[in-house]
């Protein structure tokens, strides 16, 4: 059991945010209240889980790291990072022999492939920021940095909604499966939605089915493309 009352827990979060001149908005407060009731949903910080802390000091230390990390993630600029792995020279041989590609073009092909991989790594982050800009004014809470296992957005209510956002269609990952199991076993009346932007096989997009997008503020691909251009140019 948390040694702090829920109000003390929330007031601690507000005080921590105030040290960096940031407020704890109502949707953030609603999420923290939910985390207080179901602490196992929060990923461990520095190897320490919210569910395992036993003293008020430990709770405040955990909460400080969590709140500041969340606030920082909202201000971090997404940039294109170089792919850390080294290219495999065998790929060039495959392209040359099976792909019938000219040897003098293989270096460029490898370079462009690495750039494409680096760009693809950031698309999911850009998608979350784009969606957060539309959903948070409606009371949703963006959960950046994988702070809650397998979930990207939270909406208070009865029941609450936990939303996992994916850029492309794929199977549910183990983290969202485990959080679904935990919440069910905890007796929490929670709904976990899973949404992906684009069908990897057909290219069809699904903006009209995005939870919280009933008024279609995010209506089509054009808006997302324009957002990326503006964001990266800024």
162 and 205 Cβ atoms separated by less than 8 Å: no
Q: How confident is the model at residue 172 (pLDDT cuts 50, 70, 90)?
A: low
Lowest mean pLDDT among 47-51, 72-76, 178-182: 178-182
pLDDT digits (tens, 9 = 90+) for 173-226: 555 666 667 666 766 667 778 899 999 899 999 999 999 887 778 888 999 999
pLDDT band at 96 (very low <50, low <70, confident <90, very high): confident
The residue ranking higher by pLDDT, 116 or 175, is 116
For Cα atoms 42, 43, 46, give the angle at the middle one, nearest 5 degrees.
125
Instruction: State the pLDDT at residue 171.
Output: 55
* DSSP at 209: G
ω into residue 159 within 30 of 0, thus cis? yes
Going by C-alpha positions, the residue among 10, 25, 14, 22 that lies closest to residue 138 is 25
Judged against a pLDDT cut of 70, whether residue 122 lies above it is answered with: yes
Q: What pLDDT sits at residue 22?
A: 94
**pLDDT over 70, % of the chain:** 92
Q: Which residues pair with 161 in a beta bridge?
A: 155, 191
Residue 24 burial (C-beta neighbours within 10 Å; 0-12, 13-18, 19+): buried
Residue range 12-28, pLDDT digits in tens:
999 999 999 999 999 99
Q: What is the pLDDT of residues 178-187, one digit of tens each?
A: 666 766 676 6
* Alpha helical stretches, state H, the chain: 6-18, 26-37, 56-75, 89-97, 106-135, 174-185, 221-233
Q: What is the per-residue pLDDT across 134-167, written as a single tens digit (0 to 9) for each?
A: 999 999 999 987 788 778 999 998 888 899 999 9
Tokens linked to 20? 């960096």
* Residue 8: per-residue pLDDT: 96
pLDDT of residue 106: 72
Residue 191 β-bridge partners? 161
The model's pTM = 0.84
């Amino acid at each position: 059991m948390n040694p702090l009352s829920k109000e003390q827990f929330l007031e601690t979060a507000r005080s921590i945010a105030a040290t960096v001149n940031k407020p704890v908005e109502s949707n953030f407060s609603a999420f923290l209240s939910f985390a207080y009731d179901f602490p196992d949903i929060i990923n461990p910080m520095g190897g320490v889980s919210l569910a395992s802390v036993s003293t008020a000091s430990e709770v405040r230390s955990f909460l400080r790291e969590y709140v500041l990390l969340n606030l920082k993630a909202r201000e971090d600029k997404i940039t294109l990072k170089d792919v850390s792995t080294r290219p495999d020279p065998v790929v060039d041989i495959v392209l040359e022999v099976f792909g019938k590609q000219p040897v003098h073009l293989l270096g460029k092909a490898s370079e462009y492939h690495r750039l494409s991989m680096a760009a693809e790594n950031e698309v999911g982050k850009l998608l979350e920021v784009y969606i957060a800009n539309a959903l948070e004014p409606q009371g949703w809470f963006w959960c950046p940095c994988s702070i809650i296992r397998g979930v990207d957005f939270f909406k208070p209510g009865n029941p609450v909604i936990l939303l996992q956002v994916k850029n492309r269609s794929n199977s549910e990952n183990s983290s969202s499966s485990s959080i679904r199991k935990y919440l069910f076993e905890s007796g929490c009346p929670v709904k976990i939605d899973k949404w992906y932007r684009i069908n990897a096989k057909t290219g069809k997009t699904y903006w009209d089915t995005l939870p919280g997008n009933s008024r279609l503020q995010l209506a089509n691909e054009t808006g997302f493309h324009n957002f990326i251009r503006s964001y990266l140019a800024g």
